[in-house]
């Protein structure tokens, strides 16, 4: 009976987890509920993936991000409001607090609806800049959709993004065949500051794109906000606590019309010839971006961490608090990756390795972790090494931070002590000590022999007046 119960419980847990690794409560902020229908496919996809969606207007009281100090939602999707502000419940400070509390936010911008100033200052805090002219949009005279924007060139067609570095996993490549295009109707460009390592552009504008401000025709052409690859169409920020924040430059991208729309390229790219009409990949791409933002992909979980003494003849005690210098130790860490609805074993992309640091103030060892075992849901990485000849308070540290993967920073503190007085080799084991041991032996023998001789020999009677004890 009991096993059925626990099985049911497990099954229940599994269904709950099937949503997202970070929870299922999603708040969609949109001004008029009527607008819902514009995004019906996109939101339908989300609901189908198990999110329970609440739709609130920014002015409503229920939009509050925190109730009684606790985070009320797991994820927030902010669709561009018509009003100039987001209201007192969605101030930049509250949104930042929401991120600090671990909530994920997806913000969609639109060139036709000016971005609220609260959002702009939030983006500024995160070092994401958007054009000062709120109606500015990205235009590309080469990669536009000839069907819908033959004149204005403001529907930019972008191929699936490449990985930003060869050793970073690409979650947004679709099936990877190429030849697809994502339509960005009237996108708002973002540029990213250089300082923050947490920012990653998910998709960048083509090399020939530029930011154009319809109001300020001449100036924006002469001195555009930014051009080419500096323009980010979708920007991601993963905070140190792994909360995710995504800015999608074009809210229309998520609309039903663009999910189904046929587009036609002006010039060929990525092997796809120009002049063919084909369907956009917007729906699949939106799923990937949203899924990533709401922690359905790219989530790493640390399972068991174990380290133990690896000396012959010593019994294995798991995770001891103290080691001795020059001990041989083994360390293992269990890593899983969340992929849409299940935990799978984590394998780093080719060219990347998971490393272990053994550090005190600075690393004494930095070692690659090797795969020891793969279970259904996890990979166990392990390494063995000899502790340095330095006592102190050390950390086993796995510091795996890669773009698009949640941060893994695991620190296990152990004390490394010095040799105890009885752990040194004994003197007779050390060959260099033999002369000294022989010296001690000789002295002892000599002394005993001398005393024996002294006691054995008869004292010679003293002559003359020198008798008696000398008065000292």
325: helix, strand or coil: coil
Region of 54 on the Ramachandran plot (φ > 0 left; ψ -120 to 50 alpha; else beta): beta
| Spatial distance between the Cα atoms of 426 and 432, rounded to a whole number of angstroms | 12
Give yes or no for residue 399 binding other proteins (CB under 8 A). Answer: no
Give yes or no for residue 261 binding other proteins (CB under 8 A). Answer: no
Whose Cβ is closer to other proteins: residue 136's or residue 192's? 192
Query: Taking the complex as a whole, how short is the minimal distance between the CB of residue 196 and other proteins, in angstroms?
Result: 4
Q: For residue 270, how many other CB atoms are within 10 A of its CB?
A: 13
In the region spanning residues 304 to 363, those forming contacts with other proteins, defined by CB under 8 A, are 322, 360-361
**Count of chain residues binding other proteins (CB under 8 A):** 48
Query: Taking the complex as a whole, how short is the minimal distance between the CB of residue 71 and other proteins, in angstroms?
Result: 14
Query: Taking the complex as a whole, how short is the minimal distance between the CB of residue 417 and other proteins, in angstroms?
Result: 4
Stretch in the footprint of other proteins (CB under 8 A) among 42-50, 194-202, 428-436, 447-455: 194-202
Give yes or no for residue 394 binding other proteins (CB under 8 A). Answer: yes
Q: For residue 233, how many other CB atoms are within 10 A of its CB?
A: 27
Query: Taking the complex as a whole, how short is the minimal distance between the CB of residue 88 and other proteins, in angstroms?
Result: 14
Stretch in the footprint of other proteins (CB under 8 A) among 20-28, 116-124, 378-386, 446-454: 116-124
For other proteins, which residue of 6, 241, 257, 318 counts as binding (CB under 8 A)?
Answer: 241
Hey, what are 396's tokens? 């086993």
Q: Which residue is it, tokens 């083994």?
A: 330
Stretch in the footprint of other proteins (CB under 8 A) among 21-29, 172-180, 345-353, 388-396: 388-396
Whose Cβ is closer to other proteins: residue 12's or residue 419's? 419
For other proteins, which residue of 132, 270, 276, 304 counts as binding (CB under 8 A)?
Answer: 132
Whether residue 74 contacts residue 103, with contact meaning beta carbons closer than 8 Å, is answered with yes
Give yes or no for residue 80 binding other proteins (CB under 8 A). Answer: no
For other proteins, which residue of 9, 13, 274, 393 counts as binding (CB under 8 A)?
Answer: 393
Per residue in 389-418, is it b (16+ CB within 10 Å) or e — as a string?
A: eebeebbbbbbbebbbbbebeeeeebebee
Stretch in the footprint of other proteins (CB under 8 A) among 29-37, 181-189, 310-318, 411-419: 411-419
Q: 282-293 and 40-48 are packed helices; what angle lies between their axes, rounded to 10 degrees?
A: 50
Give yes or no for residue 201 binding other proteins (CB under 8 A). Answer: yes
The alpha carbons of the chain give a radius of gyration, in whole angstroms, of 35
Hey, what are 314's tokens? 């010593």
Q: Is the C-alpha dihedral spanning 443, 445, 449, 454 positive or negative? A: positive
For other proteins, which residue of 11, 16, 83, 124 counts as binding (CB under 8 A)?
Answer: 124
Q: Which residue is it, tokens 């005279």?
A: 141
CA angle 64, 68, 69 (to 5 degrees): 85
Give yes or no for residue 441 binding other proteins (CB under 8 A). Answer: no
Query: Taking the complex as a whole, how short is the minimal distance between the CB of residue 427 and other proteins, in angstroms?
Result: 15
Query: Taking the complex as a whole, how short is the minimal distance between the CB of residue 269 and other proteins, in angstroms?
Result: 21
15: helix, strand or coil: helix
| Spatial distance between the Cα atoms of 371 and 292, rounded to a whole number of angstroms | 26
| Spatial distance between the Cα atoms of 99 and 109, rounded to a whole number of angstroms | 19
Query: Taking the complex as a whole, how short is the minimal distance between the CB of residue 110 and other proteins, in angstroms?
Result: 19
Nearest to 338 by CA among 297, 379, 293: 297
Give yes or no for residue 427 binding other proteins (CB under 8 A). Answer: no
β partners of residue 185 = 155
Whose Cβ is closer to other proteins: residue 163's or residue 344's? 163
For other proteins, which residue of 96, 367, 371, 372 counts as binding (CB under 8 A)?
Answer: 96
Backbone angles phi, psi at 364, to 5 degrees: -95, -30
Whose Cβ is closer to other proteins: residue 125's or residue 260's? 125
Give yes or no for residue 94 binding other proteins (CB under 8 A). Answer: no
| Spatial distance between the Cα atoms of 158 and 148, rounded to a whole number of angstroms | 15
Whose Cβ is closer to other proteins: residue 264's or residue 417's? 417
Q: Which residue is it, tokens 């971005």?
A: 115
Stretch in the footprint of other proteins (CB under 8 A) among 37-45, 107-115, 127-135, 205-213: 127-135
Whose Cβ is closer to other proteins: residue 99's or residue 209's? 99
DSSP string, 98-144: HHHTT-EEEEE--SSSPPPHHHHHHHHHTTEE--SSTT-EEEESSSB
Q: For residue 280, how many other CB atoms are within 10 A of its CB?
A: 23
Give yes or no for residue 226 binding other proteins (CB under 8 A). Answer: yes
Whose Cβ is closer to other proteins: residue 179's or residue 363's? 363
Give yes or no for residue 471 binding other proteins (CB under 8 A). Answer: no
Stretch in the footprint of other proteins (CB under 8 A) among 42-50, 108-116, 151-159, 409-417: 409-417
* Residues near other proteins (CB under 8 A): 93, 96, 99-100, 120-121, 124-127, 129, 132, 164-165, 191-199, 201, 226, 230, 237, 239-241, 243, 245, 322, 360-361, 391-394, 413, 415-418, 420-422, 472
């Amino acid at each position: 009976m009991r096993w059925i119960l626990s099985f049911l419980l497990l099954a229940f847990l599994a269904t709950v987890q099937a949503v997202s690794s970070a929870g299922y409560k999603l708040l969609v902020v949109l001004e008029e509920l009527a607008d819902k229908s514009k995004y019906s496919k996109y939101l339908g996809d989300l609901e189908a993936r198990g999110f329970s969606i609440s739709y609130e207007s920014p002015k409503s009281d229920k939009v509050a991000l925190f109730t009684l100090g606790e985070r009320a939602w797991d994820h927030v999707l902010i669709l561009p409001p018509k009003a100039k502000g987001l209201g007192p419940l969605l101030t930049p400070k509250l949104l930042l607090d929401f991120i600090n509390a671990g909530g994920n936010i997806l913000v969609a911008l639109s060139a036709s609806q000016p971005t609220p100033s609260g959002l702009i200052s939030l983006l500024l805090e995160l070092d994401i800049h958007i054009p000062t002219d709120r109606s500015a949009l990205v235009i590309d005279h080469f990669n536009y959709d000839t069907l819908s924007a033959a004149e204005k060139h403001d529907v930019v067609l972008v191929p699936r993004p490449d990985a930003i570095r060869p050793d970073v996993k690409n979650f947004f490549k679709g099936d990877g065949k190429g030849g697809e295009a994502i339509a960005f109707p009237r996108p708002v460009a973002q540029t990213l500051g250089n300082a923050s390592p947490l920012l990653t552009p998910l998709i960048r504008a083509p090399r020939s794109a530029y930011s154009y401000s319809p109001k300020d025709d001449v100036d924006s052409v002469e001195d555009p906000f930014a051009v080419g690859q500096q323009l980010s169409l979708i920007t991601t920020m993963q905070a140190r606590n792994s909360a995710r924040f995504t800015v999608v430059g074009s809210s229309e991208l998520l609309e039903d019309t663009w999910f189904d729309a046929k587009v036609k390229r002006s010039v060929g790219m990525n092997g796809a010839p120009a002049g063919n009409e084909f369907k956009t990949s917007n729906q699949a791409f939106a799923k990937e971006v949203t899924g990533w933002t709401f922690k359905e992909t790219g989530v790493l979980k640390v399972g068991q961490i174990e380290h133990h003494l690896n000396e012959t003849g010593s019994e294995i005690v798991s995770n001891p608090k103290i080691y001795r210098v020059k001990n041989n130790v083994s360390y293992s860490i269990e890593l899983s990756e969340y992929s849409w609805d299940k935990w799978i074993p984590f394998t780093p992309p080719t060219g990347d390795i998971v490393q272990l640091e053994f550090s005190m103030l600075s690393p004494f060892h930095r070692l690659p972790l090797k795969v020891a075992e793969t279970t259904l849901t996890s990979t166990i990485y392990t390494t063995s090494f000899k502790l340095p000849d330095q006592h102190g308070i050390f950390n086993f540290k796995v510091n795996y931070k890669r773009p698009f993967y949640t941060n893994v920073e695991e620190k296990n503190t152990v004390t490394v002590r010095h040799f105890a007085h009885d752990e040194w080799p004994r003197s007779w084991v050390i060959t260099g000590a033999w002369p000294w041991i022989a010296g001690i032996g000789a002295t002892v023998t000599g002394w005993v022999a001398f005393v024996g001789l002294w006691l054995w020999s008869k004292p010679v009677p003293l002559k003359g007046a020198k008798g008696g004890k000398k008065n000292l």
